[in-house]
Amino acid sequence: MAASPVGMKRFYAILGAVAVVGIGLLGYQLSKPATVSIPANVIIQPSDTAGFRGYLKGADSAPVEITEYADYQCPFCQTFATLQMPTIDERLIQTGRLRWRYRDFPLQQHQYARVAAHSAACADEQGKFWLQHERIYEGQSEWAASRDGADIFRRDAKEVGLDLAKYDACMSAGRYAGRIQASYDEGVRAGVSSTPTLLVGGRLYQGRFDSDAITRLVDSLAQRAASTP
C-alpha cells in the first residue's frame, strides 16, 4: 500500500521544486519596484478638507443630488463613467435636474487609484478637474497595465492644457493625499464598501447603474420634491 522510499523521495523532490518556484514567483511579485505613489497613511488635517465635499457638476438649484464614490482603477467605475455618464450629463445635469458630486474612494488593491485621484485633484487646482477626470477614465486600460501610471497622467495633464510646472509641484508634494483619504473615510462612514457606489439623499442606491434607471430615479425624486409643500 505505501509507496516505496525511492518513490516518496522523488515525490518530495517534485513538491520541493514546486514550492521553490511558487515562493519565488510570489516573492518577485512582492518585490517589484513601486512607482510614484500617494500615501494612504496620512494624518488628515482640517485644512486638507476645508469644507471640500467632492467635485461638483450641475446647478446649485437642481432638485436632486447624487454622490458617487468611485475608484479610477475600478473597471465598473470606468464603464459607468465612459458609457453612462455622458447620457446622464446631457439628459439630467445640463438640464438642471441633477447635481452630481464625485468623491474618491481608492481601493487599496489598486496600485494607481490614489495617484489617479491625486492627478485629478491637481487638475482641479487649475479648474480642469472634469477634463482630467474623463481622460483618466478613458485611458484606464492603458495606465492600469503600465509600469508607471503617473507618467500617463502627466501626459494627459499636458494634453488637457494644464500648467505642467504647477501640476508637477502639486503631484510631488502629494498636496491632496489627506483630502483623498478624508473622502475615503467619509465613504466608509456612509456605508460604502465597493465601487462605484451612489448615495441619493444620504442613502445607498441599490438600483441599476445605467442612465435610464438614474433618469427614472431623478424624475421620481424631483416629482416628490415638487409635490412636497
Partner 1 sequence: MIYRMGAALVSLLGLFLSAYLYLYKIGRIGALACGNGACETVQTSEWSRFAGVEVALIGVVGYGLLFTVALLALQPALAGSRWPATMLTGLAAGGVLFTVYLTYVELFVLRAICRWCVGSAAIILSIFMLALLAQRRAPRQPAG
x/- track of binding to partner 1 for residues 134-153 (CB under 8 A): -------x--xx--------
445640463: which residue's cell? 94
Strand 203-204 and strand 98-104: the pairing is unpaired
CB-count exposure of residue 54 (10 Å: 0-12, 13-18, 19+): middle
32 part of the interface to partner 1, by CB under 8 A: yes
90 touches 164 (CB < 8 A): no
131 or 198, CB closer to partner 1?
Answer: 198
Return the C-alpha cell found at 225.
Answer: 420634491
19 part of the interface to partner 1, by CB under 8 A: yes
38 touches 73 (CB < 8 A): no
107 part of the interface to partner 1, by CB under 8 A: yes
191 part of the interface to partner 1, by CB under 8 A: no
Angle CA(121)–CA(122)–CA(124) in degrees, nearest 5? 65
159 part of the interface to partner 1, by CB under 8 A: no
- Candidates 120-128, 162-170, 188-196, 218-226; binding stretch for partner 1 (CB under 8 A): 188-196
Number of residues in contact with partner 1 under rule CB under 8 A: 33
1 part of the interface to partner 1, by CB under 8 A: yes
Gyration radius (Cα) of the chain, Å? 23
Please report, as ranges, the residues that interact with partner 1 according to CB under 8 A.
Answer: 1-3, 7-8, 11, 14-15, 18-19, 22, 25-26, 29-30, 32, 71, 73-76, 78, 107-111, 141, 144-145, 193-195
